[in-house]
Amino acid sequence: MTNALPGTSPEKLVFPDQSPDTTYQDFLRNNQFCIQHCNECQNFLFYPRLCCPHCSSVDLEWREASGKGTVYAVSIVRQRPEKGGDHNVVLVDLDEGPRLMSRVDGIPNEDVKIGMKVKASISVNTDEDGDTRMVVFREA
Amino acid sequence: MSFKDKTAIVGIGETDYVKGSGRSEVDMMLEASRKAIADAGMKPSDIDGIIPPPGYTYSEELAANLGVEDLRYAATINMGGASPNAAIQHAAIAIASGVCNSVLITLGWNGYTAMRPKPGQPPGRSAGIAVLNNAIQGFYLPYGVSAPVQMYSWLAMRHKQMYNTPDEATGHIAVACRKHAHLNESAFMRGREMTMDDYLASRWVSEPMRLFDCCLETDGAAAVVITRADIAKDTPNKPVYIMGAAEGHPYPADDIATRPDPFRIGLSFATPKALEIADIKIHDVDFLQIYDCFTYVVMLQMEAMGLCERGETYDFVKDGNIELGGHYPLNTHGGLLSQAHVWGLNHTTEAVRQLRGTAGASQVKDAELGLVTGWGDLGDGSIVILRN
Ligand SMILES: [Zn+2]
């Protein structure tokens, strides 16, 4: 019997020993913004997955992202000041291909525009549960 | 083998739609179900299939309370707000294939009360949206995105900038639903005027979504009974036949951010299939009951179904085209925007009234063919085509 699907030969059908979400967070804690690369079809993917959404391969490798991207869409969420105030939410197309949700820091919400070139950084939030890290962007 | 015209909706039932029901979800669903079964001229024991919502109750619980001894078909559809509409397709398939004879579909929730918990109140049951938890909890919530309005707002913003969509495009959708609500005694916004100026002046929730782009939050339940066409002939009301139905899911369905084309939604996939089964063209329909959690979501669905080209919703909705008297009256009961929010099952009950000819002041003249859609879980879609 032949393997019709790429990346499904027995020696390649190896799933990671922890959730890819956990691995993503582990990299962030190490100050690295990493995304998965599919060694079968050569696409990058996000958010972290067990199989490649393009070709279903499980031969996925973590690579550090360039952090370079372009704003694809933006919205300003309106909230009362006591609830945290207004903030922007963006979708960013990474130069590697995937699109992800984030926010743009460092400029007024109204100045965030579709097509704007942005660069990723890792933001640290500290609360009673400890540190959580997330990828945010600034104007490039 | 197709299920075209082999089944019909023969019973509809609804509770009052209120803000603050003081009742459990199951209690309300049982009221709506009993009414729908009675409307079908049936006894509860005539029901042998049940499709409950994803959450709030189970088929077994409904069957036990209704006295359904022989439950042959019990399924749950996990498509968020599209679930009750998609359930119609599943009922039609199950009945047409001979698995069961008569299916009850119901949805009830405390959409208002559950968002405003009071101390001492017993906790309500929750809806099942497990399919989305990974993306939302891990990758949306950290950015302050938790409500659907926020998740759909970038789609709307992208659409506005790509196609220069004027605010009045979605404004006409909101205003049409409001005008229709004035004709409906069970509509929550009946008598509360809203002009285009009022719409444009309403506050931002998540740009470009204004307050009047967003649906109501209400408590209540609705139910429908679907049966085999030969049984339907002997029921008290004019049967409303299921000509075609289909469901669709955007790709990837579990994450809105990474879709290559964000306007390719579930309905983009479902509509051609449903039209093929029904053997009609989209412009043949006499009215539109389109899932309207948000005006922008109505716009995306209109374009995905081919009612108009992408970016041309304004031309389609202007000049009263989607109001009663126009070519394609939209949400003749007021919709989720201005009647009540029961996950769109009220769109189906209204479509049935239209095709029975019992829609009263909002009756579409000579309505013969109607379209009902569902939307949920970040863009899953379903479509049902009905005729009398
Ligand atoms: Zn791949």
pLDDT digits (tens), chain B, 388 positions:
799 999 999 999 999 999 999 999 999 999 999 999 999 999 999 999 999 999 899 999 999 999 999 999 999 999 999 999 999 999 999 999 999 999 999 999 999 988 777 776 666 777 766 556 677 877 888 888 878 888 888 889 899 989 999 999 999 999 999 999 999 999 999 999 999 999 999 999 988 999 999 999 999 999 999 999 999 999 999 999 999 999 999 999 988 888 999 999 999 999 999 999 999 999 999 999 999 999 999 999 999 999 999 999 999 999 999 999 999 999 999 999 999 999 999 999 999 999 999 999 999 999 999 999 999 988 999 999 999 9
Side chain identity at residue A9, one-letter code = S
The pTM score is 0.93
pLDDT of residue A15: 67
End-to-end CA distance of chain A: 51
Rounded Cα gap, residues B124 and B53, in angstroms: 15
pLDDT of residue A2: 44
For residue B341 the two structure tokens come to 């929010």
B12 lies in a domain?
yes
Return the percent helix, strand and coil in chain A, to nearest 5: 15, 40, 45
What backbone phi and psi angles, to 5 degrees, belong to B387? Answer: -140, 165
CA dihedral sign of residues B280, B281, B282, B285: negative
B100 lies in a domain?
yes
What lies within 8 Å, CB to CB, of A75 at 6+ separation is A88, A89, A90, B150, B153, B154, B156, B157, B206, B207, B208, B209
B257 lies in a domain?
yes
B246: nearest Cα among B51, B76, B88, B80:
B88
- In this structure, are residues B44 and B339 in contact, taking their beta carbons and an 8 Å threshold? no
pLDDT of residue A13: 65
Query: Cβ of A77 and B150 within 8 Å?
Result: yes
pLDDT of residue B126: 74
Residue A3 has pLDDT above 60, yes or no: no
Å from CA of A60 to ligand 1 middle: 8
pLDDT of residue B130: 59
A92 pairs with which residues across the strands? A71, A100
Residues of B with CB under 8 A from a CB of A: 134-135, 138-140, 142-145, 150, 153-158, 161, 203-209, 251-252, 255, 257-259, 262
| Interchain contact A19–B (C-beta under 8 A) | no
Q: How many domains does chain B have?
A: 1
For residue B169 the two structure tokens come to 């495009």
Range of the domain at B307: 7-116+215-387
Pairing of strands B219-228, B102-110: antiparallel
B288 lies in a domain?
yes
- Which of the pair, B116 or A65, is modelled with greater confidence? A65
- In this structure, are residues B121 and B53 in contact, taking their beta carbons and an 8 Å threshold? no
For residue B243 the two structure tokens come to 């000509």
- In this structure, are residues B85 and B382 in contact, taking their beta carbons and an 8 Å threshold? yes
The H-or-E segment that residue A123 falls in is strand A117-127
pLDDT of residue B133: 67
Rounded Cα gap, residues B249 and B251, in angstroms: 6
pLDDT of residue B129: 62
Query: Cβ of A99 and B138 within 8 Å?
Result: no
pLDDT of residue A8: 56
pLDDT of residue A5: 57
Å from CA of A45 to ligand 1 middle: 9
- What are the pLDDT digits (tens) for B42-98? 999 999 999 999 989 999 999 999 999 999 999 999 999 999 999 999 999 999 999
B266 lies in a domain?
yes
Q: What Rg do the C-alpha atoms of chain B give, in angstroms?
A: 19
B111: nearest Cα among B222, B221, B218, B220:
B218
Residue in chain A nearest B159 by alpha carbon: A73
CATH number at residue B301: 3.40.47.10
Query: Which of B141, B154, B211, B249 is most worth mutating to test chain A (most A CB atoms within 10 A of its CB)?
Result: B154
* Residues in B touching A46 (Cβ below 8 Å): 258
- DSSP assignment string, B89-141: HHHHHHHHTTS-SEEEEEEEEETTGGGS--TTPPPPP-B--GGGHHHIIIIIG
B132 lies in a domain?
no
A75-113 burial code (b ≥16 CB/10 A, e <16) = bbbbeeeeeeebbbbbbbbbebbbbbbbbbeeeebeebe
pLDDT of residue A1: 42
B237: nearest Cα among B387, B26, B7, B12:
B12
Pairing of strands B369-376, B287-289: parallel
Rounded Cα gap, residues B284 and B335, in angstroms: 21
B203 lies in a domain?
no
Out of A16-30, A91-105, B110-124, pick the least confident: B110-124
Q: What Rg do the C-alpha atoms of chain A give, in angstroms?
A: 18
Residue in chain B nearest A132 by alpha carbon: B142
